[in-house]
Amino acid sequence: MKQNKQFFISEPLKSLTKHYKSSTGRNNKGRITAWHRGGGHAKLYRNIDLKRTHTQGIVVGLEYDPNRSAFLARVFNPDTKNHAYIIAPSKIKKGDIIRSNSTRNGLQNGHSKTLNHIMTGTLIHNLSVFPGENGKILRAPGACGLILKRTKRLAKVRLKSGQFRWFDIKTIATNGVVSNSDSRFNKLYKAGQSRWLGRRPTVRGVAMNPVDHPHGGGEGKTSGGRPSVTPWGKPTKGKPTKSFRVKPKPNVKI
């Protein structure tokens, strides 16, 4: 569901942003280890509260974040006069009340609670793996998990991938679904938009020279001439990526 544009704030808070230098896919020796990265518009990192243990207040508005596809919600606490950023859930709007580490039962959108205070059958996001850690799971646009059952110590959650996992009952999650679920339908209308995002062009191996790729070279449009491999000669299709240990056969004497 698209968010209403009248709730958006154009400029981020200076106190909650910081500059960082992108690695452009290079390691500490300057060698490219992740291809097709580089360039792009300058970005500021927003300090987001992912633990959700103290942030509470009134939603001032929504903001665009260049570092993720989901929107951010700016929360103002009138008691401490402080602002904070949280990952915005869908259907949140200006003037809503946000509480963290709440003990209230119910379906309060955007409220963070421990799993023992969230009813089964509730949609959640920003789920932490262990108690006291940042939320690391279910943070993508439109992502949500479903609490299926609880015991005295554990809670069973169905993740977006369909996987079922058990989490400690003291881990914190947030009610609702992550905002901007339609981001996957965004279309880039020219190559320059991809460069603005820091993505460099991808070149096919068959279009290269033999010195650059095993598929390169040949007269005309040669389609490789061998099974698909990486630039370093490792097979990319039909070979298992997980190594299975073969158990030795017992020595049975007849």
Q: What is the DSSP string of 62-94?
A: EE--TTSSS-EEEEEETTTTEEEEEEPBTT--T
195 belongs to a structural domain: no
What is the reported pLDDT for 251? 66
Nearest to 50 by CA among 97, 80, 18, 85: 85
CB-based contact 148:120 (threshold 8 Å) = yes
197 belongs to a structural domain: no
Nearest to 112 by CA among 122, 123, 98: 98
Instruction: Say whether pLDDT at 1 is over 50.
Output: no
Residue 71: give the domain boundaries: 5-182
223 belongs to a structural domain: no
114 belongs to a structural domain: yes
**DSSP-derived 3-state class of residue 14:** helix
192 belongs to a structural domain: no
pTM across the whole model? 0.81
How many domains, in total, are found in the chain? 1
> What DSSP string runs through 99-130?
-SSB---S--TT-EEEGGGS-TT-EEESEESS
133 belongs to a structural domain: yes
The DSSP letter of residue 48 is B
Rounded-to-integer distance, Cα 8 and Cα 166, Å = 37
CB-based contact 101:53 (threshold 8 Å) = yes
Beta bridge partners of 123: 146
Nearest to 124 by CA among 106, 109, 146: 146
pLDDT in tens, 79-125: 999 999 999 999 999 999 999 988 887 788 999 999 999 999 999 99
What is the reported pLDDT for 62? 94
Where residue 21 sits, what CATH number does that domain have?
A: 2.40.50.140
252 belongs to a structural domain: no
219 belongs to a structural domain: no
pLDDT in tens, 196-237: 999 999 999 999 999 999 999 988 888 878 889 999 998 888
pLDDT in tens, 23-38: 899 999 999 999 999 9
What is the reported pLDDT for 107? 83
Residue bearing the bigger pLDDT, 224 or 188: 188
